[in-house]
Chains A and B, each alone.
Chain A
Amino acid sequence: MKLVVVSAGLSVPSSTRLLADRLAAEVDRKAAVDIQIVELRELAVEIAHHLTNGFPGRKLADALDAVTGADGLIVVTPVFSASYSGLFKSFFDVLEKDALAGKPVLVAATGGSARHSLVLEHAMRPLFAYLRAVVVPTAVYAASEDWGAEGLAARVERAAGELAVLMSGLSAQRPPVPKPLAGGFEVVPFEQRLNALRG
């Protein structure tokens, strides 16, 4: 199974990436996964150009393909101005609209204090519900103080376990992908489209 981790941390090293890595390692312990990391920081300029031009640059295209083809996702953002960061949102704005449908997603966020922890429930979860992803029940928030306190490890383990179970279950039940036509497209035969209008 393919697990893709999307991290929107901006500093190097970043606590957002640190949380992402903790979550990914825990999933890796519970299920057989190939892990690919997508660092949005490295794609920031290409994401902005995609918004203005309508097509992705090469690195961004690879990242979008990876996310679309994943069996499960871990997505982690720093909290900016009471929500996910603009860079994080912009990445999911340029993803094809059905790319996450039915896909298990673990949402997580980092912040300077615990006061922002409901960003996960009030911003992250609705975003991924809109994208028709299957969001795991446990969302993980790490404030600065959590890195020196008890509790984070248990939440990481519970969330990772939920993602691993969902990924295994859903990827086993995924229907076979129909063979696409030339150019990689699936097409409704024209007669069918014409007849639907006549009906």
Chain B
Amino acid sequence: MQFGIFSVGDVTPDPTTGRTPTERERIKAMVAIALKAEEVGLDVFATGEHHNPPFVPSSPTTMLGYIAARTEKLVLSTSTTLITTNDPVKIAEDFAMLQHLADGRVDLMMGRGNTGPVYPWFGQDIREGINLAVENYALLRRLWREDVVTWEGKFRTPLQGFTSTPRPLDDVPPFVWHGSIRSPEIAEQAAYYGDGFFHNNIFWPADHTRRMVELYRSRYAHYGHGTAEQAIVGLGGHVFMRKNSQDAVREFRPYFNDAPVYGHGPSLEDFTDQTPLTVGSPQQVVEKTLAFREYAGDYQRQLFLIDHAGLPLKTVLEQLDMLGEDVVPVLRAEFAKGRAAEVPDAPTHASLLAAAQGVSKEETAV
């Protein structure tokens, strides 16, 4: 099972000091957080993609390429890559390029994006969101799998004899996750292709997550990629920790109360009760995270949100120390217990390459 972090990349004033980091500080902080994630033994770093303030990560592969050069093992991913407003041709090129530079330590998560104005800024219409995700992704798959593509569709100019370069590393496209909070169409899309399905999980009651994962798993089996239990599931998590849980609550409360998305709404106590948020000791984080399995089944990837709402870099790095020392080692051991043997790990470049070579050997034998 993989453990990692995902960042929204928001530039938010620290409510305890009133100070807003510069964009440069925030970008450098995201890099420092990614490097620390590798140092403490996490497996994945994923960055969001946004095209409006107060967010900085508009250019994920630039950032991930830089991180790739300074890490050895970390898998670089996105949360999410906008399959609706990006040109699928550019996604194909950017992520194949990143694969080569990162020696295959790359996957990505497709998302639609819910910021209305971004669609027209990129020449699209939010009402076509699902159709854009369907058509653009179908083209992206072909661009990675066919050397020469001739294509015509509804949303972008036709392609005649187009070759996306560079070709994917070892001719193995990066593994793709599809992220959606409440669109069954996207769970269906992930299942149809046998891709991974990621549920943000955080900020919402568990029941939403349970229903979407259940749909994805049953459709994954329906399309013949394996049993429902073998479907590739990822979940988000949302934590703030201190050794003493009272200290965690006291320190996090001002950030919670002012946070984008959920701030100025429910109390911290109600929100921890109703959503996956844990504010407390590492042991409490372990317990709550292990319980995700009860509604999502044995899953493959757990990403934590730890760097939002104006939390200072120093604090975030301390969170990573605790994740690496006190949380993830326990989760690895506990999640392994009772895990059915046929439940696969999350695909990596190495596993996909081995599978592709296995297939071509079989073909040769016939």
Please give the residue numbers on chain A whose beta carbons come within 8 Å of chain B beta carbons, in ascending order.
49, 52-55, 57, 181-191, 193-194, 197-198
Residues of chain A lying within 8 A (CB to CB) of residue B187: 183, 185, 187
Q: Tell whether B264 is near chain A: CB-to-CB under 8 Å.
A: yes
Q: Are B204 and A184 in contact (CB under 8 A)?
A: no
B224 vs chain A, min Cβ distance (A): 13
Q: Are A197 and B266 in contact (CB under 8 A)?
A: no
**30 residue pairs from A and B, CB less than 8 Å apart:** A49-B266, A52-B262, A52-B266, A53-B266, A54-B203, A55-B203, A55-B205, A55-B274, A57-B270, A181-B215, A181-B218, A181-B219, A182-B214, A182-B215, A182-B219, A183-B213, A185-B184, A185-B211, A185-B215, A186-B184, A187-B185, A187-B187, A187-B188, A189-B188, A190-B189, A190-B192, A193-B130, A193-B134, A193-B185, A197-B135
Q: Are A187 and B265 in contact (CB under 8 A)?
A: no
Q: Are B184 and A183 in contact (CB under 8 A)?
A: yes
A44 vs chain B, min Cβ distance (A): 14
Interface positions, chain B 195-243, Cβ under 8 Å from A, are 203-205, 208, 210-215, 217-219
Residues of chain A lying within 8 A (CB to CB) of residue B138: 194
Residues of chain A lying within 8 A (CB to CB) of residue B213: 183
| B interface majority secondary structure | helix
Q: Contact string, B156-197, partner A, CB cutoff 8 A, digits 1/0? A: 000000000000000000000000000011011101100000
| Chain A minimum-CB-distance residue to B135 | A197
Q: Give CA–CA (A77, B213) in the complex, Å.
A: 39
B231 vs chain A, min Cβ distance (A): 11
| Chain A minimum-CB-distance residue to B204 | A55
Q: Are A188 and B188 in contact (CB under 8 A)?
A: yes
Known: A187-B185, A187-B219, A197-B154. 13 other contacts (CB 8 A): A49-B270, A52-B265, A53-B266, A54-B204, A55-B203, A55-B204, A57-B274, A182-B219, A183-B211, A183-B214, A188-B188, A190-B191, A193-B134
B179 vs chain A, min Cβ distance (A): 16
| Chain A minimum-CB-distance residue to B264 | A52
| Chain B minimum-CB-distance residue to A193 | B134
Q: Tell whether B18 is near chain A: CB-to-CB under 8 Å.
A: no
| Chain A minimum-CB-distance residue to B183 | A185
A43 vs chain B, min Cβ distance (A): 14
Q: Tell whether B53 is near chain A: CB-to-CB under 8 Å.
A: no
**Considering the complex of A and B, which 3 residue pairs feature the smallest CB-CB distances, nearest first?**
A183-B211, A182-B218, A183-B215
Q: Are A53 and B203 in contact (CB under 8 A)?
A: yes
Please give the residue numbers on chain B whose beta carbons come within 8 Å of chain A beta carbons, in ascending order.
130-131, 134-135, 138, 153-154, 184-185, 187-189, 191-192, 203-205, 208, 210-215, 217-219, 262, 264-266, 270, 274
Q: Are A197 and B214 in contact (CB under 8 A)?
A: no
| Chain A minimum-CB-distance residue to B213 | A183
Q: Give CA–CA (A192, B160) in the complex, Å.
A: 26
Q: Give CA–CA (A191, B189) in the complex, Å.
A: 9
B217 vs chain A, min Cβ distance (A): 7
Set B153, B217, B274: member contacting A197, Cβ < 8 A? B153
B120 vs chain A, min Cβ distance (A): 21
Residues of chain B lying within 8 A (CB to CB) of residue A53: 203, 262, 265-266
Q: Give CA–CA (A182, B210) in the complex, Å.
A: 10
B277 vs chain A, min Cβ distance (A): 12
Q: Give CA–CA (A36, B327) in the complex, Å.
A: 47
Residues of chain A lying within 8 A (CB to CB) of residue B204: 54-55
Q: Are A197 and B134 in contact (CB under 8 A)?
A: yes
Q: Give CA–CA (A189, B219) in the complex, Å.
A: 9
Residues of chain A lying within 8 A (CB to CB) of residue B218: 181-183
A78 vs chain B, min Cβ distance (A): 26
Residues of chain A lying within 8 A (CB to CB) of residue B266: 49, 52-53
A188 and B131 contact, Cβ closer than 8 Å, known pairs A183-B210, A194-B138: no
A1 vs chain B, min Cβ distance (A): 28
Q: Are A55 and B208 in contact (CB under 8 A)?
A: yes
Q: Are B212 and A183 in contact (CB under 8 A)?
A: yes
| Chain B minimum-CB-distance residue to A197 | B135
Residues of chain B lying within 8 A (CB to CB) of residue A186: 184
B222 vs chain A, min Cβ distance (A): 9
Residues of chain A lying within 8 A (CB to CB) of residue B262: 52-53
B112 vs chain A, min Cβ distance (A): 14
Residues of chain A lying within 8 A (CB to CB) of residue B212: 183
A60 vs chain B, min Cβ distance (A): 12
| Chain B minimum-CB-distance residue to A186 | B184
| Chain B minimum-CB-distance residue to A46 | B266
